[in-house]
């Protein structure tokens, strides 16, 4: 019996990176997981990994920003596994530049992805939570960033969105306490993913939603970023997932409306 046995979780952006490890960790602790990714293949791969380890999972691929997605992903959890207990709003990517070069499209895209999509998913879940009271605590974990807590050069869109996630979290914690739903956020610092790994070329890009998004850090910048972390290194996706898992457990039943900064002590 795991700490999350019989719970049903939705984890957006869980085909790769941090989200994949969150989904795997929740499943390993007994949760039945709805795995989401923009692309069907990585979502299916995460599901296969969970099932091979003895867990239960189902894929719900597609963009979190597309019309009707919020109702579709929450409906998948309820229709497939008979409930909804945990929501982890993790999906996202960065599209950086300084403010004078940032287009309206860059601003709108990142704000909608990181703030609009979680808002719609949580709005879609509210009627179910209200109509189906339970004698335990349901959990919401919204993924923020140290860019939203402290700001970061070249990330005015991302920083604003992630700061908004914290405001969303604190407000819903007050609105949903009466439903026994704990709403918290985790703000990650330097975690090693495909978006932050050291790459030899400054021209490394990834096609996401038809856009070519720059990924990775040059090795010197990556080393410099790691050097100012008291633990002496970037975090791993497994470690990042552990922080989210903590807030999903019964041990966190009286933690509500908080933002846990997970950055190795950098700030």
Kindly list the catalytic residues.
158
Taking the C-alpha atoms of residue 120 and residue 98, their distance in angstroms, rounded to an integer, is 28
Query: In the block, which residue shows the tokens 């969105």?
Result: 161
| CA distance linking residue 120 with residue 10, whole number of Å | 14
For 242, phi and psi rounded to 5 degrees? -60, -35
Q: Please spell the DSSP secondary structure of 118-136, one letter per residue.
A: HHHHHHHHHHHHHHS--SS
Q: From 181, 182, 189, 147, select the one nearest 164 (Cα to Cα).
A: 147
What is the full DSSP assignment across 188-229?
E-SB-STTTSB-S-TT-EEEETTEEEE--B-HHHHHHHHHTS
CA distance 172 to 182: 9
């Amino acid at each position: 019996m795991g700490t999350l046995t019989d719970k049903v979780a939705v984890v957006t952006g869980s085909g790769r990176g941090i989200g994949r490890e969150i989904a795997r960790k929740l499943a390993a602790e007994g949760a039945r997981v709805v795995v989401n990714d923009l692309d069907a293949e990585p979502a299916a791969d995460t599901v296969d990994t969970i099932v091979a380890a003895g867990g239960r999972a189902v894929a719900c691929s597609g963009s979190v920003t597309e019309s009707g997605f919020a109702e579709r992903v929450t409906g998948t959890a309820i229709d497939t596994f008979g409930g909804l207990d945990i929501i982890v709003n993790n999906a996202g990517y960065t599209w950086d530049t300084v403010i004078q070069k940032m287009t309206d499209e860059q601003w709108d895209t990142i704000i909608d992805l990181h703030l609009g999509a979680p808002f719609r998913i949580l709005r879609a879940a509210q009627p179910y939570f209200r109509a189906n009271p339970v004698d335990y605590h349901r959990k919401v974990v919204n993924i923020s960033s140290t860019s939203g807590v402290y700001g970061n050069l070249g990330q005015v869109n991302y920083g604003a969105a992630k700061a908004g996630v914290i405001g969303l979290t604190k407000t819903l914690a007050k609105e949903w306490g009466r439903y026994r739903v704990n709403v918290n956020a985790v703000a990650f610092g330097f975690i090693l993913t495909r978006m932050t790994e050291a790459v030899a070329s400054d021209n490394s890009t990834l096609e996401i939603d038809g856009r070519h998004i720059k990924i990775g850090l040059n090795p010197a910048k990556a080393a410099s970023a790691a050097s100012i972390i008291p633990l002496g290194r970037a975090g791993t996706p497994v470690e990042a997932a552990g922080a989210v898992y903590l807030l999903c457990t019964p041990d966190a039943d009286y933690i509500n409306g908080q933002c846990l900064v997970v950055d190795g002590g950098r700030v």
